[in-house]
Amino acid sequence: MTALLAARDLHKSFGATPALAGAGLEVDAGEIVAVMGPSGSGKSTLLHCLGGILRPDSGAVTFEGRELSALADAERSALRRSRFGFVFQFGQLVPELTCRENVALPLRLDGMPRRRAERRADELLERLGVTAVASQRPGRVSGGEGQRVAVARALVTDPCVLYADEPTGALDSLNGERVMELLTTAARERGTAVVLVTHEARVAAYSDREVVVRDGRTRGLERVP
Amino acid sequence: MAIGTTFLGLLERGPRHGYDIKRAYDEHFGADRPVSYGQVYATLARLLKHGLVEVDGIEPGAGPERKRYAITAAGVTDVERWLGEPERPEPYLQSTLYAKVVLALMTGRGAKALLDVQRAEHLRLMRDLTQRKRDGDIADQLVCDHALFHLEADLRWLELTAARLDQLAATVSS
């Protein structure tokens, strides 16, 4: 079986500093893979390359058999908007919009009428247990609630792949666990693959397998049978 | 901690007397609890019986005879197997893992692979516990959390050790 998402021999430097030096990774549909490693090891850069946010200097990222760097910018943006979902550590919600409008935003950008998009948003907010904050602006909600809203927004388009970069990094243990529990349950229900960047083992333990990045290279490519 | 296998690892660098083995053991691994002479000779007798070491020479002296011990091929195989197998993840494992890392470096085997194998084993157990926690009630959750936090501490230690291997290698091989 061909992997849903595959990266091979990725190299990426920022100026003279190499961030990736031959990293590779494969993710199957519906699989949850944790990318671990110390700070500065290149794991976020790897995620950004996999998600089409960064273009690697060399090597290839393929999604459903198509190479991302071969796509036109507009195609790649469309892919990011409708087939991929993203959750970051913080600061990702639009402060001027309510939580409901934030979750509905990716659907609105794809041209869905407001009422339908907000109905979908409400379903997701309910699934993530944050219906109560739907009409609030992000500045008025707690960190844990904000992250659950962000997960709802990342999943609202039913993406094939959810990219999560330290999604619990700014939360305490209890809220972090709640986010991971909901994120992984919602992803499994939908068959969404998850690429989860974390330096915390307790967060990585929610995955099916882990890949370790050290000095821009990946190790531990073995799969769970 | 597996004193016998640790002795074998120390002997792999070359034959030694019981006294030298004790000194090397205490220097590297006995900071908290040095090994007693009784333990040293009982352990060597057991290794001898199992064919993992052999007497390499005997020096007569005023006091008791001084035997020099050497590791056998079976002993090397034992060390090899011990270093290659992950430890069952459980709290307070550091002393054993530390001994493995030091002996791997001393005997020129390299410790990176050992640390990676152990990390994978720890994460496997953490995954099981996380699943049990998700399926269980509050009591299960608290019991699993306790284990998870301990395993996480071990993993952090594995990560730090991996980052300092070169430094450690320079110390133990000097």
pTM score, whole prediction: 0.79
Q: How confident is the model at residue A223 (pLDDT cuts 50, 70, 90)?
A: very low
**Domain presence at residue B163:** yes
Residues B16, A60: Cα–Cα separation, whole Å: 55
- The identity of residue A170, as a single letter, is A
**Domain presence at residue A224:** no
- The identity of residue B135, as a single letter, is D
One domain, residues B77 and B115:
no
Number of domains chain B is built from? 2
Which pLDDT tens digit goes with each residue over B96-121?
A: 888 899 999 998 888 988 998 999 99
- Asked if A75 has any chain B CB less than 8 Å from its own CB, the reply is no
**Domain presence at residue B12:** yes
Residues B144, A81: Cα–Cα separation, whole Å: 38
What CATH number should be reported for the domain holding residue A73? 3.40.50.300
Share of chain A above pLDDT 70, in %: 96
Q: Test A202 with B130 for CB contact under 8 angstroms.
A: yes
Share of chain B above pLDDT 90, in %: 45
**Domain presence at residue B56:** yes
Q: Out of A181, A204, A219, whose CB is closest to B123?
A: A204
The mean per-residue pLDDT over the stretch B123-127 comes to 93
Q: How confident is the model at residue A215 (pLDDT cuts 50, 70, 90)?
A: confident
Which pLDDT tens digit goes with each residue over A105-144?
A: 999 998 999 999 999 999 999 989 999 999 999 999 999 9
Domain boundary among B68, B84, B100: B84
Q: Test A212 with B119 for CB contact under 8 angstroms.
A: yes
One domain, residues B79 and B149:
no
8-state DSSP, A206: T
Which pLDDT tens digit goes with each residue over B44-88?
A: 999 999 999 999 888 776 666 688 999 999 999 999 999 989 888
One domain, residues B130 and B59:
no
What was the pLDDT predicted at B27?
A: 86
One domain, residues B115 and B166:
yes
**Domain presence at residue A58:** yes
Range of the domain at A211: 5-219
Query: With 90 as the cut, is the pLDDT of residue A11 above it?
Result: yes
What CATH number should be reported for the domain holding residue B69? 1.10.10.10
**Domain presence at residue B96:** no
Number of domains chain A is built from? 1
Which pLDDT tens digit goes with each residue over B24-41?
A: 998 888 777 888 888 999
Domain boundary among B19, B50, B84: B84
One domain, residues B1 and B72:
yes
One domain, residues B1 and B80:
yes
Burial of A132 (0-12, 13-18, 19+ CB in 10 A): exposed
**Domain presence at residue B98:** no
**Domain presence at residue A24:** yes
One domain, residues B125 and B52:
no
One domain, residues B21 and B60:
yes
Partners of residue A202 in chain B, C-beta under 8 Å: 126, 130, 148-149, 152
The widest CA-to-CA distance across chain A, in whole angstroms, is 49
Which chain A residue's Cα is nearest to B148? A202
8-state DSSP, A94: -
Partners of residue B135 in chain A, C-beta under 8 Å: none
Range of the domain at B56: 1-84
CB under 8 Å to A73, separation ≥6 — which residues? none
Domain boundary among B84, B102, B135: B84
Share of chain A above pLDDT 90, in %: 70
Q: Which residue has the higher pLDDT, B59 or A85?
A: A85
Q: How confident is the model at residue A221 (pLDDT cuts 50, 70, 90)?
A: very low
